[in-house]
């Protein structure tokens, strides 16, 4: 099957790094010296700006900054500070979701930043996602409005269907994805959302949406890193003019505990990744984020640690040499770390993870995994 061939052969997707990436000067972006803004009780939070932050042009006509910050698994009491740190450090892309259960705190962080006066709402690309329980047409707008209320926003830059499932029993997803997508399109018509897209959709499921979409998906957000390049989907989306955002660029190290797996390697500790990091004087995490950019996607690393948040953005004024990029793009071990097993139900539409991903599953996902590091 073509989907599996891409994983087995390890064929990288070449020359995607500069496709549709925009900077006003054409130069590689750099970070300015810090600016300061007035803060509470005389404090002055430091602000950094990124010159010519690279962006990708979406089919909706809007632009998405190539590096953003994710908020998945960021705990209450931590996520707000992380978002403020990111925006002060120069990030202009924040990824959220209703199911993360932290959007109200993120909304408070946004308000703090807007009031400090150095970053305007219209300068920040904000994504959220529709949860599985809200796919019915009559629920989609309600769910979106709740997210807008929680985030204290008038509109979202991007709204995604989080998963192609609702938890129903029976042979087909109910409500049908078509019903959900058409309700998502109305959000654009109403000005609540600027771009709409999909998360955790296979090529086949994305093709199905394209077959009836009045408004094409602007973005597909999926797991991507050198241990799961997802080349088949990246290539398909490039051909269809759909932008791809890579989540879990560091390989989702906590997924083994989530899925109760053993003997699963971690891409951050891969000897090739470490060798490139040592050669360039960068951290392994920075190499993986930079790899995602050169792979042709935007990327949303996450952290709650201020220094790590800043470090994750320091990936714009250097490149992985082509020879090293090809090595990282040809690692033989491939595995979906977030395999969608929670979508599998004996009496549901998906009876296996192969059903969830329509065969786009590397062999490692179905066998006992062990790899010498």
Q: Which residues are catalytic?
A: 100
Residue 106 three-state SS: helix
The residue count of the chain comes to 373
Q: Are 171 and 350 in contact (CB under 8 A)?
A: no
Helices (H), the chain: 2-9, 79-89, 103-116, 137-151, 177-189, 203-212, 231-240, 255-258, 271-280, 284-294, 306-313, 322-328, 353-357
Do residues 164 and 199 touch, judged by C-beta distance below 8 A?
no
Instruction: List CB contacts of 256: < 8 A, sequence separation 6 or more.
Output: 262, 264, 337
Helix, strand or coil for residue 117? coil
- Could you count the other beta carbons within 10 Å of the beta carbon of residue 117? 10
Give the 3-state secondary structure of residue 345. Answer: coil
Place of tokens 């989540």: 247
Residues 171, 156: Cα–Cα separation, whole Å: 33
Residue with tokens 């599998």: 344
Q: What are phi and psi of 222, to 5 degrees?
A: -145, 165
Helices then strands, each counted (H, E), the chain: 13, 15
Q: Please tell me what DSSP assigns to residue 262.
A: -
DSSP string, 166-235: ----SSS-SS-HHHHHHHHHHHHHTTSEEEEEEES--HHHHHHHHHH-SS---EEEEE-BTTB--HHHHH
Distance in angstroms (rounded) separating the CA atoms of residues 325 and 12: 9
């Amino acid at each position: 099957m073509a989907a599996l061939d891409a994983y087995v052969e390890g064929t990288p997707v070449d020359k995607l790094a500069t496709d549709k990436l925009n900077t006003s000067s054409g130069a590689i972006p750099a970070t300015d010296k810090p600016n300061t803004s007035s803060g509470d009780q005389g404090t002055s939070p430091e602000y950094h700006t990124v010159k010519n932050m690279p962006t990708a042009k979406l089919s909706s006509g809007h632009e998405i900054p190539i590096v953003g910050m994710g908020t998945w698994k960021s705990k209450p009491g931590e996520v707000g500070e992380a978002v403020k740190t990111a925006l002060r450090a120069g990030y202009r892309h924040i990824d959220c979701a209703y199911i993360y259960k932290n959007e109200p705190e993120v909304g408070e962080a946004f308000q703090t930043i807007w009031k400090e006066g150095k970053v305007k709402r219209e300068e920040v690309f904000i994504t959220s996602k529709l949860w599985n329980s809200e796919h019915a047409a009559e629920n989609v707008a309600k769910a979106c409005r709740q997210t807008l209320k929680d985030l204290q926003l008038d509109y979202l830059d991007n709204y995604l269907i989080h998963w192609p499932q609702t938890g129903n029993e029976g042979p087909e997803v109910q409500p049908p994805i078509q019903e959900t997508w058409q309700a998502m399109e109305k959000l654009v018509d109403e000005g609540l959302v600027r771009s709409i897209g999909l998360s955790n959709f296979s090529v086949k499921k994305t093709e199905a949406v394209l077959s009836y979409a009045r408004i094409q998906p602007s973005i597909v957000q999926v797991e991507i890193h050198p241990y799961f390049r997802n080349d088949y989907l990246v290539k398909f989306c490039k051909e269809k003019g759909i932008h791809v955002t890579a989540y879990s660029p560091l390989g989702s190290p906590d997924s083994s505990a989530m899925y109760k797996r053993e003997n699963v390697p971690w891409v951050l500790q891969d000897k090739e990744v470490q060798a490139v990091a040592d050669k360039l004087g960068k951290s392994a995490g920075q190499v993986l984020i930079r790899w995602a950019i050169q792979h042709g996607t935007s990327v949303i690393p996450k952290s709650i640690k201020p220094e790590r948040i800043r470090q994750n953005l320091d990936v714009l004024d250097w490149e992985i040499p082509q020879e090293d990029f090809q090595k990282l793009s040809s690692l033989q071990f491939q595995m979906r770390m977030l395999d969608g097993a929670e979508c599998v139900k004996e009496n549901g539409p998906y009876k296996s993870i192969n059903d969830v991903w329509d065969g786009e599953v590397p062999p490692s996902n179905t066998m006992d995994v062990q790899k010498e590091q």
